[in-house]
């Protein structure tokens, strides 16, 4: 399942002709966030990361699997990123939206000043409390 999710994010990156792609893992929520930037502006989408199927087998809608969506901005040097959007809390009969704000930094790019290098990312999120995330960033 993990390999399938990563391949899906990378395929979306190549099909969208993005110039930078980030995949971020949030351990507190057990979810993945993929962001796709074309030049400096882009979008991000997040979803829950599941390693097993729910027991008993319960039908889940795509809305219950997706947990965040929004816009992202990356500076010209590709050293930091600011993301803002909505965190989706799905219930049985409705979906609540909570503001979702991220600040991500790319430490290797900050040190080397090479904006086209592969880097890891460190993110801090505020949405009903503070969370952190770690991930990878791929420039194209």
Per-residue pLDDT reduced to its tens digit, 13-41: 555 555 788 889 988 888 889 898 888 89
pLDDT confidence bin for 55, thresholds 50/70/90:
low
Ramachandran region of residue 27, left (φ > 0), alpha (ψ -120 to 50) or beta?
Answer: alpha
Q: 73-114 pLDDT, tens per residue?
A: 998 888 899 999 998 887 777 778 899 999 999 999 889 988
46: which residues sit within 8 A by CB, 6+ positions away? 26, 31, 32, 33, 34, 66, 67, 68, 69
Residue 48 in contact with residue 61, Cβ under 8 Å?
no
135, 120 contact by CB (below 8 A):
yes
Whether 103 contacts 82, CB under 8 Å: yes
DSSP state, 14?
H
pTM greater than 0.85: no
Give the chain's domains with CATH numbers.
Answer: 2-139 (2.40.160)
């Amino acid at each position: 399942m993990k390999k399938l999710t990563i391949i899906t994010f990378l395929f979306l990156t190549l099909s969208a002709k993005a110039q930078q792609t980030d995949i971020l893992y949030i351990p507190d929520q057990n979810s993945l966030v993929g962001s796709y930037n074309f030049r400096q502006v882009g979008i991000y989408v997040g979803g829950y990361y599941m390693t097993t199927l729910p027991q008993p087998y319960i039908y889940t809608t795509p809305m219950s699997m997706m947990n965040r969506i929004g816009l992202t901005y990356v500076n010209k040097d590709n050293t930091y990123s600011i993301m803002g959007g909505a965190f989706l809390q799905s219930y049985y009969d409705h979906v609540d939206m909570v503001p979702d704000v991220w600040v991500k930094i790319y430490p290797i790019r900050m040190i080397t000043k090479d904006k086209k290098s592969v880097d890891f990312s460190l993110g801090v999120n505020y949405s009903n409390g503070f969370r952190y995330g770690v991930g990878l960033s791929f420039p194209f």
